[in-house]
Chains A and B, each alone.
Chain A
């Protein structure tokens, strides 16, 4: 138990569906992150939020839409995805987004399959 909880753990969706991934952290952190893990590729940072404000969008396609209503919750809204978007999506949190030595804590991930 890392203190970062992701739901659902597994999601299968069609290319025309709209779905959302949810992340909740119980660590009192102020920064939250979405990462994408694809087979045989390094983890890719997608978005960073600090104190509910987006501070990084790593050139992510608009079919991925993040939402951070408060420092404890982070969503990733999915719409008209492509099969190549199938991956493990990892949520993470840290004390804030500026501390060089801050440890980033990850959730267990949401396995997404786009059919």
Chain B
């Protein structure tokens, strides 16, 4: 079945540090890939997505590239801010099956200190 594996957390960084959060996936079809973010006390918000190989999703300074050869979708940001502190979820939506339901990773907590 489909699965998403995220690096273990939590991650603590200083403001303006470079961020990489690893995500790899297993899917039987040709999935779309997503990063969702959950700020404290809130629901999940879509951060970015990519729907085919080599696509790059980007938003709010975050980027992730769909790498089919390594089945990865790592999230990066060049300079994090305190306001980026949140839980980040990698997810996929697979073409096989009737539903476009999302399969999520476990999430990773990012804390950015001033």
Contact = CB atoms under 8 A, between A and B. Distances in A.
Given A2-B43, A40-B106, A101 B101 contact: no
A102 interface: yes
Interface in A91-106: 92, 94, 96-106
B107 A101 contact: no
If over half of B's interface residues share one DSSP class (helix, strand or loop), that class is named, otherwise mixed; here it is: loop
If over half of A's interface residues share one DSSP class (helix, strand or loop), that class is named, otherwise mixed; here it is: loop
Interface string A76-101: 00000000000000101010111111
B83 interface: no
Interface residues of A, number: 31
Interface residues of B, number: 27
Given A40-B106, A45-B102, A100 B45 contact: no
Contacts of B94: 100
A109 interface: yes
Given A98-B98, A100-B51, A42 B42 contact: no
A12 interface: no
Interface in B84-107: 89, 93-95, 98-102, 104-107
Contact of A42 (B49, B95, B107): B107
Given A2-B45, A99-B100, A42 B93 contact: no
Interface in A28-75: 31, 33, 40-43, 45, 48, 50, 55-56
Contacts of A94: 100
B106 A97 contact: no
A67 B107 CA distance: 29
A52 to B, nearest CB: 15
Given A41-B106, A42-B106, A97 B45 contact: no
Interface of A: 2, 4, 6, 31, 33, 40-43, 45, 48, 50, 55-56, 90, 92, 94, 96-109
Given A107-B43, A108-B42, 5 more contacts: A41-B106, A56-B101, A90-B44, A99-B100, A101-B93
